[in-house]
Amino acid sequence: MTPDFVESFAALDAIPHVDAKFFGRIPGLNVSVERAEAMQRIGPYHLQLLERYGLGHFPMATAEQVHGNRLSLVTSGFTSPATGADGLITDCKGITLGIYVADCAPVWVVARDGSAGALLHSGKKGTELGIVPGAIRELCRLRDLIPNDLVVVIGPCIRTPCYEVDFAAEIRHQALATGVRKIHDQMTCTACHPELYYSYRKELGLTGRMLATLTLLPAA
C-alpha cells in the first residue's frame, strides 16, 4: 500500500501491457453522505490519481452496477456508464475500465498475454448469478482462448465474520470450476480496515467508493 492508498497486484503486473489499480480510501475526505453526494466529492480525487499514475489521458468506461451479471463489451465507441451492466470486457488498447466498490469484490479477469481483460463488480448477488464464470466464457469466446489462458484476481471485499456470506470463496470456486488455474485472492476484508477502505456495511451506507481499474496499454 502506497501513501496514496493505491494498490496493484503482482499477478497482473506480470502481464505485458496491462495496468491494474485499486484506489482505496481518500485520507481526510468526508464521504459520510448518500452515494450521489459521496461520488461527487470523491470523483475529482480519482481523476487526480488517474493522472498521477499515468492513466489520465485514457477514456474511462464504467458500468451502471445493479448487482446483476450482465456484461458489456467495451469498444472504441463505448457509451459510459454501460446500462444495466456489472461487468466490462474489452480487447481494445487505450481504454480504462472502471468499477466502483464498497464491500463488493472487484474482480479482474485478464488474458496472460495481455490481449483482453474484464473487470467485474461481484458481491453476494452477482456471485450467485455467476458474473465471474460468465466473464470467463465471454473472454474465451472473444479471443479464442481457454480458461487456463486467464488470470483471475479477487480484490479487497467484505468477508466473514464481518459479513454472513463468504462470496469471495465462492468466486474462487466458480473460477476454478471453469478451468482457470491462476487465481489470486487478496484475502483482505474491507470492513476490518476502515482506515484503508470504504465499507458500506460498517459505515451504514454513508460512505465513499473505491475505484478499481484495468487498462490494456498501447504498445510503446
Domains of the chain: 6-216 (3.60.140.10)
- Provide the grid cell at 126: 452477482
Report the b/e string of 88-119 with b at 16+ CB within 10 A: bbbbbeebbbbbbbbbbbbbbbbbbebbbbbb
Q: Is the pLDDT of residue 1 over 60?
A: no
Q: How much of the chain exceeds pLDDT 90, in percent?
A: 95
- Per residue in 94-107, pLDDT (tens digit) is 999 999 999 999 99
Which of 19, 43, 3, 17 lies closest to 211 in space, CA to CA? 43
What does the pLDDT average to over 104-127? Answer: 98
pTM value is 0.96
pLDDT in tens, 157-187: 999 999 999 999 999 999 999 999 999 999 9
Q: What's the pLDDT at 179?
A: 98
Residue 3 has pLDDT above 70, yes or no: no
Q: Is the dihedral of CA 62, 31, 169, 16 positive or negative?
A: positive
Position 70 scores a pLDDT of 98
Give the containing element (helix H, strand E) for 60: strand 60-62
| 4 pLDDT more than 80 | no
